Amino acid sequence: MVNKLNNSDSFVASLIYNQFVSNLEGGISSSNFSAGKFDAPEGGWPFGPPWEHEQFEIVFKNLSAAFAQSMGFQNNFINGMVCHVEYFSHRSVQVQPGVCRSSNAEVSIYFGTPKVASLDEIGPNGRDHDVIPSTGWYYVFAISQENPVNVATLLSKSFDSPSLPAGYKYFRRVCSVYFDFAGWGLNHFVKFKQYGNGNYREVRYDEEREPILEVLTDGSDTSPTPVDCSRLVPPHSSRFKIQVYDMVLSNVDVVITPNDYSYAGLYRIGCGLNIGDLEIKSSGQGFEYNVNAFTGPTPSVYIQVLEYIDEV
């Protein structure tokens, strides 16, 4: 069996390479082979389908890591491991199959099947401390023991230093999620979906299922006024998209000023009948807004955060 596996390595490796360079939706997963996403080489599989071989998962992971290294992704590559909050639980995050390099760049961590990180568990696939969950940002990690078969997820309040369960040595942050302890009466994670395969991911909020995306309601300030986005934009992110609209159709301009003034000039969004979507770059999890002087109806400006960019 071992000889058969070794002789088929070249075929497995070529398919893994193709998946890296084509950046397939869903990331790297051994299930892609058996699901029929890859055709057999001309003449068929000379040693049988690779996924039927014993130890295939281990060889798949090692080859994935080898190709990642050869392509320059050794230190921080990630492919797949796309995350979202499970809508029916409100207190867990699902991580899709994929592979990533550990934070210390020593090993690769491979998920062959989806895994769930739950606030209601302690340890692997749960949170890292036996404490009552509190409002604020949690970070989801892929973790691994020395034996690469033993992998799990972990929730931590620490951005880069989770307390690993016994036996686990390696970790890599794969997403961020806000836990709203008091909001909406459910003690729940703010629901999101993550998009993308590489290091930069779009994190989009679900407007229909998540009713607490407003960072400003009924605004009419004519002088610059801070808007706090810390519940919807994590501390390490500085790029996010907002939606601006005026409930009374007063047709004034809304001026958006990033906290760090990273862009020259100001953002002006014509309200009234138009809804404005704007991607901004701003540190400090917020920005300032004001409306231009007006003579008609008092404006009623609402601003929502729709998504942000997360580097994992």
Q: Is-contact 92 177, C-beta < 8 A? A: no
The answer to whether residue 170 scores a pLDDT higher than 90 is yes
Tokens, residue 219? 């605004």
pLDDT tens string 3-60 = 333 444 444 455 554 444 443 333 444 455 444 445 555 666 655 666 666 555 555 6
pLDDT for the residue numbered 242 = 85
Residue with tokens 């992971």: 61
| Mean pLDDT to the nearest integer, 113-131 | 90
Q: What are phi and psi of 168, to 5 degrees?
A: -100, 140
Q: What is the mean pLDDT of the chain?
A: 75
> How does residue 171 score in pLDDT terms, banded at 50, 70 and 90?
very high
What is the model's pLDDT at position 167?
94
The amino acid present at 161, given as its one-letter code, is S
Token pair 């014993």 is found at 54
- Predicted confidence at residue 259, as pLDDT, reads 74
Give pLDDT tens digits for 217-250.
Answer: 888 898 889 999 998 999 998 788 888 877 776 6
- Report the distance separating Cα 189 and Cα 177, nearest Å: 7
Burial level of 122, CB count in 10 A (0-12/13-18/19+)? middle
Give yes or no for a contact between 140 and 128, defined as CB atoms under 8 angstroms apart: no
Least confident of 68-77, 104-113, 144-153, 274-283: 68-77
Q: What is the pTM of this model?
A: 0.73
CA 206 to centroid of chain Cα atoms: 14
The residues facing 57 across adjacent strands are: none
Full strand arrangement of the beta sheet holding 108-111:
78-80, 98-101, 108-111
pLDDT at position 61 is 58
Angle between helices 56-70 and 9-22 (to 10 degrees): 50
Residue 7 or 195, more confident:
195
By the 10 Å C-beta count (0-12 exposed, 13-18 middle, 19+ buried), 252 is classed as buried
Q: Could you tell me the strand order of the sheet in which 126-127 lies?
A: 126-127, 151-156, 136-145, 168-180, 188-189
pLDDT of residue 130: 73
